[in-house]
Amino acid sequence: MLNLTGKVILVTGGSRGIGAATARTLAGAGAQVIVHYGRNAAEAQALVTELGHDRAVALGADLSRPGAAAPLFREAAAWQGRLDVLVNNAGVAPSVTVDDPLDAWTATWAQTLQVNLVALADLCREAIVAFRAQGGGTIINVASRAAFRGDNPNAMHYAASKGGVIALTRSIARGYAKDNILAYAVAPGWVRTDMAEGYLREHAQEIAREIPLGDVVPPEEVANTVAFLASGLARHMTGATLDLNGASYVR
Ligand code: NAD
């Protein structure tokens, strides 16, 4: 078992799905976790109660609102007086195609880039400034297989947002290693969460066929990967992206 005792970690979108699994794993390994949520305060509070109030706290912020990320980071850092690790997990995957009306296309691109990329970049900006001042820190960004493989025609904006996350992560790793700031990405294929639920139900057989391991990724495996990266056991891996996709897309 990894030991994350003494580390204070912000997990965005931590109230459900991959974020909740990650918060559980990190807290289970000894970290103190800020469980960020978008809208569902009750869900986040229930998770904090489960993890223990000495080990976790819930903080809300709507990341579709420009400017929401910076106050979130500062509030999170104020809880224990510092942050050691930022896990950017919050994300959206709405559907739109070239056949939809232009206003739907424009709004969907704007919302997806704002939540998945711009808010994430704003949080990275806060983290870099704070980590530089305290002598280091770790950023772990949840990207997607779509960043490399591309996605279906109704999710081109999603793939583009995640491609941006990869480029940003690599740039941070290159630019701030000298300040002891480490940056990693994880790139899951299908993970069994609310985000994927509808699609997975409708396309179960086709998805199983395209995954050599035979099943989609359990959220706990993404959580384990994040915990490993947060541990500092592989510092020289900074800049890397770890794939979790059952060999459905081997690069
Ligand atoms: P999910 O829908 O269960 O969770 C998404 C989280 O993001 C939620 O906690 C939600 O509150 C938060 N969020 C969404 N919009 C927000 C907003 N405006 N403000 C604040 N928070 C907001 O989905 P998930 O599958 O757990 O996704 C987590 C991450 O993993 C996302 O970045 C997603 O793109 C990525 N991912 C998921 C899959 C998959 O198949 N489920 C695959 C690859 C990558």
Concatenate the DSSP letters of all residues of 221-247 into one string: HHHHHHHHHHHTTTGGGTT-EEEESTT
d(CA 178, CA 166): 20
pLDDT of residue 208: 86
Atom number in ligand 1 closest to CA 93: 34
Q: Where are the domains of the chain?
A: 8-242
* DSSP 3-state percent helix, strand, coil across the chain (nearest 5): 50, 15, 30
Helix H or strand E encompassing 74: helix 69-80
Report, at the CATH architecture level, how domain 8-242 is classified: 3-Layer(aba) Sandwich (3.40)
Atom number in ligand 1 closest to CA 192: 41
Detail the DSSP E strand segments found in the chain. 8-11, 32-37, 56-60, 85-88, 137-142, 181-188, 241-244
pLDDT of residue 204: 86
Q: Enter the pTM of the model.
A: 0.98
Could you tell me the end-to-end alpha-carbon distance of the chain, in angstroms, rounded to an integer? 29
- Would you name the residues annotated as active-site residues? 158
Atom number in ligand 1 closest to CA 111: 18
User: Quick check: helix, strand or coil at residue 12?
Assistant: coil
Percentage above 70 pLDDT, the chain: 100
d(CA 180, CA 182): 6
Count the neighbouring beta carbons within 10 Å of the beta carbon of residue 213. 12
Residues of the chain with pLDDT below 70 are none
Q: How far is the CA of 93 from the centre of ligand 1 (A)?
A: 8
Q: How far is the CA of 91 from the centre of ligand 1 (A)?
A: 4
Q: How far is the CA of 85 from the centre of ligand 1 (A)?
A: 18
Atom number in ligand 1 closest to CA 194: 3
Find all residues with CB under 8 Å of 115, minimum gap 6, and list them: 63, 64, 90, 91, 92
> Between the CA of residue 119 and those of 109, 123, 193, what are the distances in Å?
14, 6, 22
pLDDT of residue 95: 97
Q: Of 86, 161, 193, 241, which is best to mutate to test ligand 1, by the most ligand atoms within 8 angstroms of its C-beta?
A: 193
Q: Of 43, 45, 92, which is best to mutate to test ligand 1, by the most ligand atoms within 8 angstroms of its C-beta?
A: 92
pLDDT of residue 142: 99
pLDDT of residue 118: 98
* Atom 20 of ligand 1, residue of closest alpha carbon: 38
Residue-wise pLDDT tens digits, 88-137: 999 999 999 999 999 999 999 999 999 999 999 999 999 999 999 999 99
CA-based angle 188:194:93, to the nearest 5? 65
Residues with CB under 6 A from ligand 1: 13, 15-19, 37-38, 62-64, 89-93, 115, 142, 144, 188, 190-191, 193-196
